[in-house]
Structure formats: C-alpha cells, structure tokens
Amino acid sequence: MNLALFDFDNTITHSDSFSHFLKYSLSYRKQLFGGLSVAPWLIGFRLGYVNDQQIRIRLCRAAFKNYPSIMLEQQGQQFSKTILPNLMNEHTLQQIANHQQKGDQVVVVSSSLDVYLSHWCQQQRIDLICNQLEVREGSYTGELEHGDCGYMEKAKRIQQKYALSDFDAVYAYGDSPNDHAMLALADHKFYQGQEIKVSN
C-alpha cells in the first residue's frame, strides 16, 4: 500500500478555501473591523516581509476569537456542503480516486481549518492533518491548537502520525513553498500539477 499526501488549497481546490470560509462565516462588520486590524500584516505580506503562516495566525485571532464553537461548526458543515464542491479541481479529485481504487492511504495535509475540512474528508473517506482552532468554555479563542500546520510542521505531523517505512511508496501533491517539506518526504512528488523528476 502507498501513502498519498495532498495539500488542499490550490491543489485539491482551484482557489483558497480559507479566504472563502472567512467571507462565509463572518458578518460584514466582522470582516471590516477584522480586516482593519490585520491590514498592516497584509501590507507586509504583499511587500514580502510577512509570510502566509504569520497571516493565517493573525486572521484566525481577528476572525474567530470568542466565536461560539457550535455556531462555527455548523457554518463549517454547511460550507463543506454548499461552497467547497464549487472550488474543486477535477483533475486532482481524479488522482485521489485513482489512489483510493488502488487501496492507497490518502491524507489531506492542510494549513486550513478542521471546522470545514473534517466534514469534507469524512465524506470522501480521507484522513486529515490540518489546523485546529482552540476551544475554551464553548467558544473559540482565535488561537491554533499546536500552532500552524504549515511548512516544516506539515512534515513533522505526517511523521508523527504515519511510519513512512510501512508504505511501499509515498506520493505528495502540493503547489507552494508551504508544501516543500511535505514533498521532501515523498518518493513521487507533484508540484503545481507536474511530477518532479529526481535524478539519481
């Protein structure tokens, strides 16, 4: 059996699901004031001084601090049913189906949120490693449990959950520098839809 690791945003989807979920789950007022609070960081990101990992952490704090957990989980479930299907990359879905038909273990490894990814992955019979929002007394704190699941953390969590030597081969699919550490674990690497040939 092989292990097939898939990034989610811009790999399984053709756009950023996290951005779509922010718009879906937040009121216009929350979007406006939250946007103002992270504006300096967004400017820094566009200028290359701040990376996407730092932006995600600050967006989660601005968007989801004190958000009732039951309400956001309901939003996530509805989002996975009504919005995510329209964001899918059909070519990547076929690659997932091919792996499943061969009996491979398929895993989504994402920096996006479990509140909507978990529902989609359960429906597709796919394992999930991703960001989880911290909950206290029935509300989200805006912080991420165990930190952000990006860059080296993706590879770390994969290795914590799976013994790679137990698999015949490891496949990995990604689209950005956020996925480089995950791709480095794989025998067969696919980047932005193209296989990376490794010379011996």
Q: Is the pLDDT of residue 88 over 90?
A: yes
> Which uninterrupted H or E stretch holds 80?
helix 69-82
Q: Domain-by-domain residue ranges, the chain?
A: 3-196
Question: Contact at 8 Å (CB) between 63 and 22?
Answer: yes
Q: Which of 3, 181, 1, 2 is nearest to 108 (CA)?
A: 3
Which pLDDT score, from 0 to 100, does residue 200 have? 56
Which pLDDT score, from 0 to 100, does residue 106 have? 99
pLDDT tens for 151-172 read 999 999 999 999 999 999 999 9
CATH class, 3-196 region = alpha beta
- Beta strands per DSSP E along 45-174: 105-113, 127-131, 133-136, 139-144, 170-174
Question: Contact at 8 Å (CB) between 118 and 17?
Answer: no
Residue 79 to residue 101: CA distance in whole angstroms: 27
pLDDT tens for 30-83 read 887 777 777 787 787 788 888 888 889 999 999 999 999 999 999 999 999 999
